[in-house]
Amino acid sequence: MPKYNDIAAFHEKLAASKRILAVCGAGLSAASGLPTFRGAGGLWRNHKATALATPEAFARDPGLVWLFYAYRRHMALSVKPNPGHYALAALARKNKDFLCLSQNVDNLHPRAGHPPSQLHLLHGSLFNIKCFNKTCGWIQHGNYDDPFCPALAAAAQDAGVELLLDPKKELAKIPESELPRCPRCKTGLRRPGVVWFSESLDGAMLDEIDKWIDDQKEKVVDMVLVIGTSAVVYPAAGYAEAARSEGTSVVTINLDAELPRNLEDLKKGDFAFAGDAAVLLPKLLRPNHSCGIRPHKICI
């Protein structure tokens, strides 16, 4: 039986795989230089980032929440997709039966040229804007304004960003009157188009994913790539198990993939590769692409 990190054995399995599912997490974006804002050290101005990612936090202080997300928008625009993003995009162009599910909201997948029909952004996008009024339904796709509005200018400046990030330096409260309102209903504030805690993922998107996975009754999912996240953390674990059938290989690629506690969950035919996804993915996926993996110029 090949060892769990045998690259040659992985390449053999990859070459024989027709249907492939990928689930990507924050580790892939971290390789581009973006902070995860989760786990240890996940603070922004002494606020737990997860505490700012709720409808209740936005209702209490929309200016503060918008500053946090405006900063994240600026950070995402200041970095580039890494070779891991390009490797996945190349796989999608080569294999029309490859589907990528990403928990990342930074839009680095689309900027790497990943075909939209083969990509689902599970948690939305920093660059989509929605109405906070739940009964309205207005949404704007692909807003790359930086800053998003004049009141958030401090979050879009590289110079002097220490003032924004230093919790010891008090920031002036941004009044609601300086934040843009919905152009449709005229009452709701515009908000980031991401999925906050306590909010549901897009139902139509989930139906599409379920339909793709359910097709394995006739077309088995040969391989599941779990990238920059863990195959024991949801939703990655849920999709990995839903897509698994006899002969499916679950391949975990992240910094902690080869820790003993993670190796315990491996099943026959699974693989685990510990390291930076930006370094590992081109090495692992390149044999599947005669076209090579090269950055594509994407306008944003």
Active site residues: 123
Phi, psi of 166 (to 5 degrees): -80, 110
Token pair of 34, please? Answer: 């973006």
Task: Establish whether 299 is an annotated binding residue.
Answer: no
Task: Establish whether 182 is an annotated binding residue.
Answer: yes
**How far, in Å, CA of 28 to CA of 192, rounded?**
21
**How far, in Å, CA of 196 to CA of 233, rounded?**
18
Any idea what DSSP says for residue 125? E
Task: Establish whether 291 is an annotated binding residue.
Answer: no
Contact assessment for residue 245 and residue 223, using Cβ atoms and an 8 Å cutoff: no
Q: Is 122 helix (H, G, I), strand (E, B) or coil?
A: coil
137: left (phi over 0), alpha (psi -120 to 50) or beta: left
**How far, in Å, CA of 233 to CA of 239, rounded?**
10
Q: Is 98 helix (H, G, I), strand (E, B) or coil?
A: strand
As annotated, the binding site includes: 131, 136, 182, 185
- Positions at the binding site for Zn(2+): 131, 136, 182, 185
